[in-house]
Amino acid sequence: MSLLEREIHEQPMVLSRLLDLTRGTVESLAAAMRERDVRYIVIAARGTSDNAGVYAKYLFAAHNGLPVALTTPVLFTLYHQPPRLRDALVLGISQSGQSPDIVEVIREARRQSSLTAAITNDPSSPLAQAAEFVLDLHAGPEKAVAATKTYTASLTMLALLSAILGKDEERIAQLVQLPDAVAQTLEMTEDVIQQRVERYRYMEDCVVIGRGYNYATAFEIALKVKELTYVVAEAYSSADFMHGPMALIEPGFPVLVVAPDGVPFSNLLAFLKQLRERAAEILVISDRSEALEVARTAMPLPAHVPEWLSPVTAAVPGQLLALHLALAKDLDPDAPRGLTKVTVTK
């Protein structure tokens, strides 16, 4: 078993541990947000962590009424022209906590007296040292280059903060069920993907589609496919895809659609039917039979996960697809070319 495969399968345990160990710290941060009357959230992140930030844009706006912006670290480092951050929670997300540009955003926020927090898997990292509050992912060492368990843990940490900030006991109870849902997803999808993945061994490009909360999932799956299999995978919302990129679709063109039950489902189902009319090669991640029936390759999800948490489970089939496609291509999933575990940017 590769390091990557082992870490993918560790996710239920990681999420359970996170929910057990971090509630007190998250409650303290939520209390500080109320006391400081935080009006919006600014997130500094790169790569996989940036995709977690995209999820946060939907999560905190929908459930807490807080706008979320993804910051532009280059303004803080190379241009030395940071924006004003008054009344914001400035949140750094980084599994390693090592990247100087993300750390500098947090340091500048402290200089401006803004509330700061770090979501990281290393509580002794420079990012953690720079922030007032440290939300430790408790994921254990992540040795594979491609982040998997720290991504779903970051999503879960954001979800926990949102639910506690909103004093929403129903959503907190739903979170407690999440580790079991991830375990079910692994059981439901891995054999299907292993059986089907050879079909895509010679795939050179594809698009990944999501909408709403799972817009983030589209970007995360596309990233995993690119870094592990070297396939040119581009992410879009279904709405954006209709504004031009739909011209890409020809018979056999691969399109992976993330379409769990939720508000956007009817729109995504209509989109899937358009893809079928164009004879696209359709892959679907969903808990709805209507969507799975349209697919050439169907990757089922557990049916009881609420939409706001579905990006955690929906990411898992994408991780497994990237892993097993890399193996089908005789690539080493633990050593993608040109990449290292910690990427330092300024």
pLDDT score for 338: 84
Q: How many residues does the chain have?
A: 346
> Among 44, 36, 47, 92, which Cα is nearest to 69's?
44
Equal CATH topology for 3-176 and 179-328: yes
Measured CA distances, 41 to 47, 59, 89, 123, 285 (Å):
19, 11, 5, 21, 30
> Among 216, 49, 214, which Cα is nearest to 139's?
49
Q: For residue 319, how many C-alpha atoms fall within 13 Å in the half-sphere facing its CB?
A: 29
CATH number for the domain whose boundaries are 3-176: 3.40.50.10490
> Among 161, 135, 158, 137, which Cα is nearest to 147's?
137
Q: For residue 241, how many C-alpha atoms fall within 13 Å in the half-sphere facing its CB?
A: 25
Long-range contacts of residues 106-112, Cβ cutoff 8 Å, at least 24 apart: 106/44, 106/130, 106/131, 108/76, 108/82, 109/42, 109/85, 112/82, 112/84, 112/85, 112/86
What is the enclosing helix (H) or strand (E) of 236? strand 232-237
Residue 343 in this model has a pLDDT that exceeds 80:
no
pLDDT, the chain, mean:
96
Beta-carbon neighbour count of residue 338 at 10 Å? 6
pLDDT digits (tens, 9 = 90+) for 300-315: 999 889 999 999 999 9
pLDDT digits (tens, 9 = 90+) for 1-27: 899 999 999 999 999 999 999 999 999
What is the enclosing helix (H) or strand (E) of 311? helix 310-328
Q: For residue 86, how many C-alpha atoms fall within 13 Å in the half-sphere facing its CB?
A: 1
What is the enclosing helix (H) or strand (E) of 90? strand 88-94
Mean pLDDT over residues 238-256, rounded?
94
pLDDT score for 346: 72
pLDDT score for 345: 77
Residue 311 one-letter amino acid: P
Least-confidence region, from 15-24, 243-252, 311-320: 243-252
Locate the domains of the chain by residue range. Answer: 3-176, 179-328
CATH number for the domain whose boundaries are 179-328: 3.40.50.10490
pLDDT score for 104: 97
| Alpha carbons 105 and 72: distance in angstroms, whole number | 9
pLDDT digits (tens, 9 = 90+) for 16-73: 999 999 999 999 999 999 999 999 999 999 999 999 999 999 999 999 999 999 999 9
CB 201 within 8 A of CB 193: no
Q: Terminal CA-to-CA distance of the chain, rounded, Å?
A: 35
pLDDT score for 341: 64
pLDDT score for 307: 98
> Among 83, 101, 102, 82, which Cα is nearest to 92's?
102
| Alpha carbons 272 and 255: distance in angstroms, whole number | 9
Core vs surface per residue 272-311: b (16+ CB within 10 A) or e? beebeeeebbbbbbbbbeebbebbebbbbbbeebbbbbbb
Q: What is the pTM assigned to this prediction?
A: 0.97
CB 33 within 8 A of CB 135: no
Phi-psi sector, 123: left (phi>0), alpha (psi -120 to 50), beta: alpha
